[in-house]
Amino acid sequence: MSHQVVEHLTFYGGLTTIGGVHILYTCGDTGIVFDLGMARGFFNGDVRVQTDSGIRSFMLTRMAPPILGLYDPSLVGDLGETELKQVWGKDHLPQVSNLHGFVSHIHQDHMALLPSLRAGLPLWMHRDAYAVYEGVVAAGEYEDTQADIRLVDDGQIVDFGTFRIEFIEVDHDSPGVTGFIIHGPKHRIAFTADWRRHGRNSHRLDRFIERCQTVGVDLLITEGTRMRPDTLFRKPKDRLEIEVAVECRRAMEDTEGLVYVNVLARNVERVADLIVRTQEAGRQLVMDESTAVLWKEAAAKLVVLKGHLALEMDQKVIRLLSTPNWSKGPHPVKDVELPYASITQNEIRADKSKYAVYLTYPHIPLIAELEIGESQTATSIYVHADGNPLTPNDETLLKWLTEFGVQYRYCATGGHASPQEIMELTTRIAPRLVVPLHSLHPTLFNSGGVRKYCPTPGESFELSELVGKQLTV
């Protein structure tokens, strides 16, 4: 490998937002973009675009990186580098002929651009992340991608010619979340992806740290979601991941009424635990079609779920609520043969103590249907466990629960490390420079004496220039 090849790093997204990380690493004529999602910005549930024109709007609002070789040319149309330079206020936007993409995990803010990618683009992700993506597509949440999916395993090293990437699985609240170490001709760059210490696999972070220590990292790029003024001096006490499903079971045991559970379906491991705890509580778990398809398609392929009890008992525990008007996502649900017995609203109302209802945010109106009737002797409970909306004070959700007398229990744990844990990881790795991002307040990061830098959107560096910057800590 020639040491004359120059390494560049360009920062586009996720620098002062939670999610939407877009970074381009190039070495010679080869480059890789990580990640490929979107942060919330110019669009919401009411203001939206369709795939056939969406990528243009995303690039023109800086919600997607201005790298023309990433996208389906038919979606980009006549939008060119001249317009993108104007939007970004830059004289130069790096492009390479041999371009690759990387997705660290299947959360919207890391993978939402996948349907817009060009056919044949090499796209790298962990095989468990891809299993979740297949479930998400089957459930009708996203269209499929035309990119050329390249699956990796934990610890695998891929040679890109001018550099190598060592993929390392970390722990987050979705399967297959993977960070990496780029082994360039001169520098080593570590990217944590999203991570936490209170999950079921905290040891993965110790291994990530050990690999970084072994190779000697010049630049560490870490997420900082929970860096806020209120968390800097007092470490939050986190509920352990393994306790969440136990809390759901406790709610099922605390009432003879219905229990509604709101879990993000992409957290397939948590759904698996929920299935087991529901059975332990003597109930059945009622799912809508979209959620059931995501579970069935993803769970069967996930390496991390191999041998899980939920795979053996789901046919007895899961019931399918055939209410197609509210169970469909934005795209058609894949025609999957589901082995679950159907159930009606009348059957649920007839004996609420037998059921828990998996209730996603868009389907809140179902509460009105299930809470009517002559016999309302027991209070129903709604367990909010990191499903959308992500905060416990959503006005719409609380209005529905109050209207129908449903008790609210917030049982979140989340997928992100505390600022103190990020500092500990940084000081143990001891890079020459750390870049915190995926954060609303990256400048608040206490790096423990390690030099830090907060890039601005579109800022581009030669690696030697960046890691050699004379910065304060």
Whole-prediction pTM value? 0.93
Encoding tokens for residue 208? 């990530």
Q: How far is CA 210 from CA 205, 206, 224, 383, in A?
A: 9, 6, 20, 38
Contact 223, 418 (CB under 8 A): no
Write down the domain spans for the chain. 7-231+416-467, 241-410
For 4-46, the pLDDT digits (tens) are 689 999 999 999 999 999 999 999 999 999 999 998 777 776 7
Write the CATH number of the domain with boundaries 241-410.
3.40.50.10710
CATH for the 7-231+416-467 domain, from 1.10.1060.10, 3.30.43.10, 3.20.20.70, 3.60.15.10: 3.60.15.10
User: Any alpha helices (H) in 301-394, and if so which ranges?
Assistant: 309-317, 324-327, 345-350, 366-370
Q: Is the pLDDT of residue 205 over 90?
A: yes
Q: Is the pLDDT of residue 239 over 80?
A: yes
For 246-300, the pLDDT digits (tens) are 999 999 999 999 999 999 999 999 999 999 999 999 999 999 999 999 999 999 9
| pLDDT confidence of residue 421 | 95
Query: Which residues face 220 on adjacent strands?
Result: 190, 434
Q: Is the pLDDT of residue 229 over 90?
A: no
| pLDDT confidence of residue 54 | 84
| pLDDT confidence of residue 48 | 74
**What's the rounded Cα separation, in Å, for the pair 52 and 36?**
18
For 311-353, the pLDDT digits (tens) are 999 999 999 997 655 555 567 888 888 999 999 999 999 999 9
Query: Would you list the DSSP string of 168-235?
Result: EE---SSTT-EEEEEE-SS-EEEE--S--SSSTTTHHHHHHHHHHHHH--SEEEEE-TT--TTTSSSP
For 130-141, the pLDDT digits (tens) are 999 999 999 988
Contact 352, 373 (CB under 8 A): no
What mean pLDDT is reported for the chain? 92
Confidence of residue 423 (pLDDT cuts 50, 70, 90): very high
Confidence of residue 169 (pLDDT cuts 50, 70, 90): very high
**What's the rounded Cα separation, in Å, for the pair 275 and 417?**
27
Confidence of residue 2 (pLDDT cuts 50, 70, 90): very low
**What's the rounded Cα separation, in Å, for the pair 451 and 427?**
10
For 147-166, the pLDDT digits (tens) are 999 999 999 999 999 999 99
Share of the chain above pLDDT 90, in %: 83
Share of the chain above pLDDT 70, in %: 95
User: Any alpha helices (H) in 61-144, and if so which ranges?
Assistant: 73-76, 81-88, 108-111, 127-138
| pLDDT confidence of residue 51 | 60
| pLDDT confidence of residue 1 | 43
Same fold, 7-231+416-467 and 241-410: no
| pLDDT confidence of residue 267 | 96
